[in-house]
A and B are shown apart, each in its own frame.
Chain A
């Protein structure tokens, strides 16, 4: 772990900077309640629509809610949704990818046609339809994001499994009579782990962005939860001409975090799995 960090910092300084921002984002999310000067929905009508100042570094909105505090609590929501959804998505990808890649033959063909069909739908449209069916809310958003990115990402795991499957050590394990489960756990999974880690990081940025888009459309985590996407939409939009700072902080936070995650993910990919270079 320490060796790897040193290597990251030496070979990929930009990636290391991205990792540092990711860590900062994670800490903001975990300690939001301690860091935020005000509550996430603390209404303060005396100080409504205040421009950024020492007391309110990012200004306040039409209800006098402190934007900095809301951004910090928004980081918390993004951390929870991003990590849960990307984590679950990776698990879904592994399940589908390993079954499809290791089984091969007709099973593989059927699963791949299903994945083809799934991928012909725009992600955002699947999300909107799912929310229309399940109703808005955090568990639903996490579940649907996990399924959406999980199925899409299964291709990458499948590809890795197919190339691992043909290795001599797998044939050796099969010929000494190891069970399928044992082979998958002990031989296949450890060998596709670099791909899994890279997949997880690339999904992290994508899920955070997708959740923000969904909340922006009013279909994610319902207000008054301070999601970054939600802070840019709804009633806030009517006040943006009076207080342009309302349009800045949430989008900037989102861009910086996604940028950092992407840069870190690119660096990880180059270090862990050179074969995936250039693919996204």
Chain B
């Protein structure tokens, strides 16, 4: 069931996403969605496994923070409503092929090098692979440009970990939102 544009817009800005559980709208953060094992709408389970593993290398804590649910949810939005940073990085919509192509390329590289999917590699080997495609396309890489894929996914991970009020405050700085400003012009 597709959620309404209004409910999509209403909640995503404050860190909440609207999911459908048992036919009802349920609002939760990406982290809560992960903890409740909410089904994915665009990404497959193997893609999510790769994404979670990649996220943990890019920024530890991002998988538990709901990186996969955040990306999956936003891939279901129209380009106009998308909150993914990729929207202003020159990639034509839809954005799902970019993510899925990059994850497939990473897994193919992993299988080619180690005969295992990326998620099953040791963290040391995962880190080495990420370091490779962050610099240049590895030999045989078949997907979006490796350094660009790294840049986009790294930003998504940063969004999930440090882009929320909780994340900002975890750095010891105040969030200072205008969500409930003391006075609004025009009222």
The answer to whether A and B belong to the same complex is no
List A residues at the B interface (Cβ < 8 Å): none
Residue numbers of B with Cβ under 8 A of A are none
